[in-house]
Amino acid sequence: MSDQTESKIRLSAVEKRFTSARGDQQCAVSRLDLEIRSGEFVCLVGPSGCGKSTLINLMAGFEKPTSGSVTIDGKPVTAPDPDHIMIFQDYGLYPWRTVLGNVLFGLQARKVPAILAKEKALAALELVGLLPSRDKLPHELSGGMKQRVSIARALAVEPSVLFMDEPFGALDAFTRLHLQDELLRIWSEKQPTVVFVTHDLDEAITLGEKVVLMAPNPGRIQRVMEVKLPYPRERTDSNFAAFRKELFEEFHLVHRQAINPEYTI
């Protein structure tokens, strides 16, 4: 849906190594190149241990590359930026704050004037359909509602990039489908650049304009698939099924190699 052509996020020859408890060097991500356009919705998929979370943490500034470069808007990423918000599977809500209070937090941290901050927070809650629940505390909410609060909190500060690390992974299937639709609606309205990590291939095809399939040992990009289907995407459609089949077959090969490194893709 994004019609922007300029590069928003660029990774060039990025490598990330960690030192294990035994003192061994382990390569989580190996010399990886990736470009994400402004306003694009990109999904990262792959088996456990392929470096998806490491990669999104590098982009968000929570990790620094061992070598190579990560830039957003042409500037090196050296630390988390308030214009680039991360949403985790764990909602991270303050239990003593109301729904409105949680959404206000980021705005207050930025010292946005109180009246304007409340206007922005209420608008974000309306966007995610939680305006009637603004005075409730987190323990009064369902898992899906808590995740919508975390999305509203992120949207209230109007970030240019949303990083989402398996945000719907702990939710039931019905709530997950509903929030996928909500996220696409919000993205179509606000057009942030979205990088979304998931294990669910259907979720990746439903959401992503581009699906980046990663492979492990070491973590690397196996394939980048452009999903040229109109939104909203119908999972029972034959074109959707064709993309699913193609991605599943590639994923299956990657998974087999993860189990048996000598297996050739």
pLDDT score of 140 more than 90:
yes
pLDDT at residue 50, rounded to an integer: 86
Which has the higher per-residue pLDDT, 24 or 261?
Answer: 24
Nearest of 264, 261, 229 to residue 246 by alpha carbon: 229
Residue 183 phi, psi (nearest 5)? -65, -40
pLDDT at residue 96, rounded to an integer: 94
Residue 45: count of CB within 10 angstroms of its CB: 26
DSSP codes, 49-66: TSSHHHHHHHHHTSS--S
Least confident of 23-27, 39-43, 113-117: 23-27
Q: Is 84 helix (H, G, I), strand (E, B) or coil?
A: strand
Convert the pLDDT of each residue in 102-117 to its tens digit: 999 989 988 899 999 9
Tokens of 6: 């300029």
Where does the pLDDT of residue 158 fall: very low under 50, low under 70, confident under 90, or very high at 90 and above? confident
Side chain identity at 144, as an amino acid letter? G
Which sequence spans correspond to the domains of the chain? Answer: 1-83+163-169+193-265
pLDDT score of 178 more than 60:
yes
Angle between helices 99-109 and 143-156 (to 10 degrees): 30
Tokens of 28: 């989580």
The H or E element containing residue 179 is helix 173-190
pLDDT score of 193 more than 50:
yes
240 burial via Cβ count (<10 Å: 0-12, 13-18, 19+): middle
Convert the pLDDT of each residue in 200-233 to its tens digit: 899 999 999 999 999 888 889 999 999 999 998 8
pLDDT at residue 1, rounded to an integer: 55
What average pLDDT does the chain have? 87
Q: What percent of the chain has pLDDT over 70?
A: 93
Give pTM, 2 decimals. 0.86
Buried-exposed string 185-217: b where 16+ CB fall within 10 A, e elsewhere: ebbeeebbbbbbbbebbbbbbbbbbbbbbbbbe
Q: Give the C-alpha separation, 126 to 109, whole Å.
A: 21
Q: Is 17 helix (H, G, I), strand (E, B) or coil?
A: strand
Q: Is 104 helix (H, G, I), strand (E, B) or coil?
A: helix
Tokens of 40: 């694009």
Where does the pLDDT of residue 167 fall: very low under 50, low under 70, confident under 90, or very high at 90 and above? confident
Q: Return the ∠ at Cα 14 (arms to 9 and 18), rounded to 5°.
A: 125
Least confident of 14-23, 104-113, 135-144, 186-195: 14-23
pLDDT at residue 9, rounded to an integer: 97
Instruction: Given CATH 3.30.565.10, say whether it is the number of domain 1-83+163-169+193-265.
Output: no
